[in-house]
Amino acid sequence: MRKISLVTGGSSGLGYEIAKCLLEKGFNVCLVSRSDKKLNLAVSKLSAIADSKRLISYSANVGKEDEVKRLFEFIAEKKFLLEKVFNTAGIGLFGHPESISKEMIDSVFEGNLLGTIIVSSHAIRAMNKKGGLIVNIMSTAAQSGRAQESVYCAAKWGARGFTESLQAATKGTSIRIIAVYPGGMNTPFWSEKCGLYPNTSTFMNPSDVARQIVHCSTTIDSSMVSDLIINRTFR
C-alpha cells in the first residue's frame, strides 16, 4: 500500500502551501476541499510537480460526518495507507459579540472545530494499527480572547481543547499529535466577507509557515514537536 498525507482546506492558503511542500519532499497527497472549482484549480497548479499517482483530490465538507466517512472510504478503496493528516480547513467571520448570529456560529464552527474533530476521529481509527501523525492547525486566536473575534476564538479554543485531549489519549502509542498555532498570514482567508480588513501585506507568507510545519512533521528522531507557535519575524 502507498502511504498518503491528507490535507484538508488544501485548495488555497496555508493548506495549499503545505500540500505543495509535501509533494516537493516526495510525499503522496490527497487534497480535500468543499469547492470543486478551487480544488480543480489547485490540482492543476500542483500537477507541475506531481502526477496523478502522487496527487489525488476529493471534494468534501469536513464539517459533515457523512462526507468525511465517504472520504476515508475513498482513501481505503484507492489502497492508500494514511500516514499524515493536516487539518487546515476553516473560515473566519469576525465582528463585535453583539453581532453574533446562529448562522455565523455554524459557519465558523463547521470547519474550524467540527471538521477538526470529525477528521481526527476517523484518522485515529485508520491509524490504529500502523500509527501516523495528525497535525491540527489552529491559530494564535486559540491562546487569547480578541474583541472582534469572539466566535472564531471560541472555535479555535475548542479545537485546542480537543487537540490536547487527543495528545493525552494517544500518549504511549504510535500516533503523534501536533498542535500548531500560527499568527496572521497573507492568504485568501482575509476575504471581503470576513468582517475584518487588516493590512495583510505585513502578515506572514504562508509558504514560509508551511515549511516550518512540514519540517516539524517529517523530521523523525529521538525528540518531537508537540506544540508549535509561529509568528512573523520583526525586522
Q: In this structure, what CATH number is given to the domain that contains residue 107?
A: 3.40.50.720
Structural domains of the chain, count = 1
85 in Cβ contact with 6 (< 8 Å): yes
138 in Cβ contact with 180 (< 8 Å): yes
pLDDT at 235: 56
Q: Assess if residue 54 is contained within a domain.
A: yes
- What is the spatial distance between Cα 1 and Cα 21, in angstroms, rounded to a whole number? 22
Query: From the CB of residue 14, how many other CB atoms can be counted at a distance below 10 Å?
Result: 24
Q: Assess if residue 221 is contained within a domain.
A: yes
- What is the spatial distance between Cα 104 and Cα 209, in angstroms, rounded to a whole number? 28
Structure pTM? 0.93
pLDDT at 222: 67
Q: Assess if residue 203 is contained within a domain.
A: yes
- What is the spatial distance between Cα 114 and Cα 112, in angstroms, rounded to a whole number? 6
- What is the spatial distance between Cα 11 and Cα 33, in angstroms, rounded to a whole number? 6
Encode the chain (235 residues) as per-residue pLDDT tens digits. Answer: 799 999 999 999 999 999 999 999 999 999 999 999 999 999 999 999 988 789 999 999 999 999 999 999 999 999 999 999 999 998 888 888 888 899 999 999 999 999 999 999 999 999 998 999 999 999 998 998 888 889 999 999 999 999 999 999 999 999 999 999 999 888 888 777 877 778 888 888 999 999 999 999 988 776 788 999 999 876 5
| Residue 198, domain extent | 2-230
Q: Assess if residue 39 is contained within a domain.
A: yes
Quote the strand ranges of 75-211, DSSP E.
80-87, 132-137, 175-182
Q: Assess if residue 235 is contained within a domain.
A: no
